[in-house]
Amino acid sequence: MLTATNLSICYGPRKALDNFNIALAPGEIRALIGPNGSGKSTALQGMAGLVKPEAGAVTIDGAQMSGMTRREIAHRLSFLPQQPTAPDEMTVEQLVRQGRFAHVGLFRRYRREDEDAIAWALESTGLAPLAERPLSALSGGERQRAWISAALAQEAKVLLLDEPTTFLDIGYQIEVLDLVHRLSRERGVTVVMAIHDLNQAMSIADRITLMEKGRVVFDGTSDALAESGLIEQVFRVEGRFVQIASDGPPHFDVHLKRWSGKRGFESAKHAPAS
């Protein structure tokens, strides 16, 4: 599917990504976690072929990405940056339509399959009723879904999302995560997403990649991550992993300083399983 081998990316003298390796299985959901500035966005941009790497290579479907045109890449992979901007007067439908550019190119007319893909992308994000609205008239959550919809219309087998849930309220966050899950399980789409919420990452991802200072420090399942003790070390927090449901993912419970004197109260109320 998609692999990155020894990928290094520099911004001037700063090495933003250092020897990054990743290998994704078809239909896999991968969460990219790490502190601010740990290189998550750079890794995604590198995997999307948007930044020229200092060293290393990205392959997709067994072919070197560096030898592909942007359209060839867009056929196979769609990338949604953090906080993208669009012309204000553009409508939801017009934005989603841009997602078909890789397929229609400069001249070809929009065929039935294109219109179907657009309609599907609008429907799976719940935006069909808002299709004719200008983007400027949407709420933050609706706008984010419009962008995801445009990425879906591209019908690529790999979807890279840079913090798709940031700035969304909890309802929309879960909606996005559910959509990601459906795409992966029903359509076999491989999803890589940078995400800040550890517990959401552990509950949705098949595997997790933990990054620190441009390097991968962990690559494995949520359970293995819980056992490694790396979260406390990398994020410089104290806390513990708890198991809420016996078959569910581990849950990281952060220890806040203001509660240190009230342990008795907390344990009496929540009765944590340990």
Residue 137 CB, shortest distance to another protein, in Å, is 9
237 counts as binding another protein under rule CB under 8 A: no
61 counts as binding another protein under rule CB under 8 A: no
**119 CB-near residues (< 8 Å, 6+ apart):** 128
79 counts as binding another protein under rule CB under 8 A: yes
Choose, by CB under 8 A, the member of 27, 35, 37, 84 that binds another protein.
Answer: 84
Angle between helices 140-153 and 112-124 (to 10 degrees): 150
Closer to another protein by Cβ: residue 2 or 150: 150
Closer to another protein by Cβ: residue 91 or 125: 91
Residue 123 CB, shortest distance to another protein, in Å, is 7
Residue 17, strand partner residues = 9
- 3-class DSSP state of 7: strand
Angle at 201 between CA 198 and CA 207, to 5 degrees: 125
Choose, by CB under 8 A, the member of 3, 8, 59, 94 that binds another protein.
Answer: 94
Choose, by CB under 8 A, the member of 86, 161, 180, 211 that binds another protein.
Answer: 86
- Residues 27-56, interacting with another protein (CB under 8 A): 45, 48, 50
Structure tokens at 82: 């953090």
Residue 234 to residue 216: CA distance in whole angstroms: 11
Q: What kind and span of H or E run contains 250? A: strand 250-254
Angle at 65 between CA 64 and CA 71, to 5 degrees: 135
Choose, by CB under 8 A, the member of 23, 27, 120, 174 that binds another protein.
Answer: 120
CA 245 to chain centre: 25
Stretch that binds another protein, among 25-33, 52-60, 98-106, 266-274 (CB under 8 A): 98-106
Task: Give Cα separations from 3 to 32, 119, 266 (angstroms).
Answer: 14, 31, 45
Q: Which residues bind another protein (CB under 8 A)?
A: 45, 48, 50, 69-71, 73-75, 78-81, 84-91, 93-94, 98-99, 101-102, 104-107, 112, 115-116, 118-120, 123, 128, 131-132, 134, 136, 150-151, 154
